[in-house]
C-alpha cells in the first residue's frame, strides 16, 4: 500500500473518531481528504463522502438511540423535503453545472473550483457554529407551519447535496429552533436525517459513477470503527473544549482550501 493510501485510510479512521467524540462535524473533512490527499475529482469526492457520511451516521443513530436521544418521528418528518432536495441536486443539478462557470481575463472558475469554494464557505459556517459557545434555549420554541419547515429542509438538502457533507451543524439548530428538541436530542435526531439524505444522495450519483467499491467500503468501515472508538473516548474527554478546538481546525482548513483553489488557477 502506498504511503498516500495509508494516510488516506488513517484519515478516515480519525474522521470517525472525531464524529464519535463530538457527535458531528468530523465528516466535513471527508471531501478535503479525498480531494487533496487522495486526488479524487471534487464531484466524485462529494459523492463518496455522502456514502461515508450516510453509513457512519446509521451507526451513530444506533448509539444515540441506545441513550434515548433520537426522536424518529421528527427526524423522518424533517428528512422528507431534505432527501428530495439532496437526490435532485446530485441527480440533476450537479451533473448540469457547466465545466467552466466564468472566465475573467484569464481567471477561470471551473465547476470543480466552484464546488470546493462553496464547500469552504460552508466549512467557515460550520467552524463558527462549533467555536461559538451555545446555551440551551428553553421555552423559546414556537411551532411553525409545516410549509416553512418544508422550505428550510429543501434549502439544507441542496447544500448537503452540493458539498457531500452531513450538514449536522445546519440540522441541529433547525431541530432546536423549529422542532423544539433539546440540544442533545437534536444531535441524535439529526443523524437520522443525515443518514437518509446522504445515502439517497449517493444513489442519485450511482448512474454516473464508476464506483471503486473496495476503496469506498474500506474507507467507510474505518470511519465506522473510528466512530465507536470516539464514542468510548467521549466519556473521558471534555466535549465542549474539543468541539471548539476542532472548530478552529476546520476554519484553518477552509482558509487553506480558498487559498489553494485561487492560487492554482
The model's pLDDT over 85-128, given as tens digits with 9 standing for 90+, comes to: 888 888 888 888 888 888 877 778 888 888 888 888 888 887 88
Quote the strand ranges of the chain, DSSP E: 100-104, 107-110
What pLDDT does 176 receive? 76
Q: Is the pLDDT of residue 146 over 80?
A: no
Mean pLDDT of 123-137: 72
pLDDT at 36: 86
* pLDDT at site 19: 76
Q: What is the pLDDT of residues 191-233, one digit of tens each?
A: 888 888 888 888 877 877 888 999 999 999 999 998 888 878 8
Asked whether residue 172 carries a pLDDT value surpassing 70, the answer given is yes
Rounded mean pLDDT, 24-35: 78
Q: Is the pTM of this model over 0.85?
A: no
Of residues 163 and 38, which shows the higher confidence score?
38
Give me the torsion for CA of 156, 157, 162, 163, rounded to 10°: 60
* pLDDT confidence of residue 265: 58
* Long-range contacts from 173-177, C-beta under 8 angstroms, 24+ separation: 173/129, 174/78, 175/74, 175/78, 176/137, 177/137, 177/140, 177/141
Mean pLDDT, all residues of the chain: 81
- pLDDT reading at 140 higher than 70: no
The whole-angstrom distance between residue 79's C-alpha and the CA centroid of its chain comes to 15
Amino acid at each position: 500500500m502506498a504511503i498516500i493510501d495509508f494516510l488516506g485510510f488513517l484519515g478516515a479512521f480519525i474522521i470517525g473518531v472525531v464524529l464519535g467524540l463530538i457527535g458531528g462535524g468530523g465528516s466535513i473533512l471527508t471531501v478535503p481528504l479525498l480531494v487533496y490527499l487522495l486526488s479524487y475529482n471534487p464531484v466524485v469526492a462529494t459523492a463518496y463522502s455522502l456514502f461515508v457520511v450516510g453509513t457512519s451516521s446509521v451507526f451513530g443513530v444506533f448509539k444515540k438511540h441506545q441513550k434515548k436521544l433520537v426522536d424518529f418521528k421528527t427526524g423522518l418528518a424533517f428528512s422528507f423535503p431534505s432527501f428530495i432536495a439532496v437526490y435532485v441536486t446530485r441527480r440533476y443539478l450537479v451533473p448540469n453545472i457547466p465545466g467552466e462557470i466564468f472566465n475573467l481575463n484569464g481567471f477561470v472558475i471551473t465547476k470543480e473550483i466552484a464546488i470546493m469554494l462553496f464547500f469552504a464557505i460552508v466549512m467557515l459556517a460550520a467552524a463558527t457554529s462549533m467555536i461559538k459557545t451555545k446555551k440551551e434555549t428553553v421555552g423559546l420554541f414556537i411551532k411553525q407551519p409545516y410549509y416553512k419547515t418544508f422550505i428550510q429542509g429543501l434549502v439544507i438538502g441542496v447544500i448537503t447535496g452540493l458539498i457531500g457533507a452531513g450538514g449536522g451543524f445546519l440540522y441541529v439548530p433547525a431541530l432546536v429552533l423549529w422542532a423544539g428538541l433539546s440540544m442533545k436530542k437534536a444531535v441524535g435526531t439529526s443523524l437520522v436525517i443525515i443518514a437518509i439524505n446522504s445515502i439517497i444522495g449517493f444513489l442519485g450519483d450511482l448512474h454516473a459513477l464508476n464506483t471503486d467499491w473496495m476503496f469506498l467500503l474500506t474507507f467507510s468501515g474505518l470511519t465506522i470503527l473510528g466512530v465507536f472508538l470516539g464514542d468510548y473516548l467521549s466519556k473521558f474527554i471534555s466535549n465542549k473544549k474539543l468541539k471548539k478546538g476542532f472548530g478552529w481546525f476546520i476554519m484553518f482548513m477552509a482558509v487553506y482550501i480558498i487559498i489553494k483553489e485561487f492560487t492554482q488557477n
